Amino acid sequence: MGALAAAAVAAGHEVTISAATREHADAAAENAGAAARSAASNAEAVQDAGLVVLAVPGAALPSIAAELGEALSGTVVVDSTNPLNDTGTDLTTTGRRRHCPHHGSPQSQEA
Euclidean distance between CA atoms 47 and 75, whole angstroms = 10
79 pLDDT more than 70: yes
7-14, Cβ contacts within 8 angstroms, sequence gap of 24 or more: 8/32, 9/33, 9/34, 9/35, 9/36
The answer to pTM > 0.75 is no
More confident residue, 70 or 1: 70
103 pLDDT more than 50: no
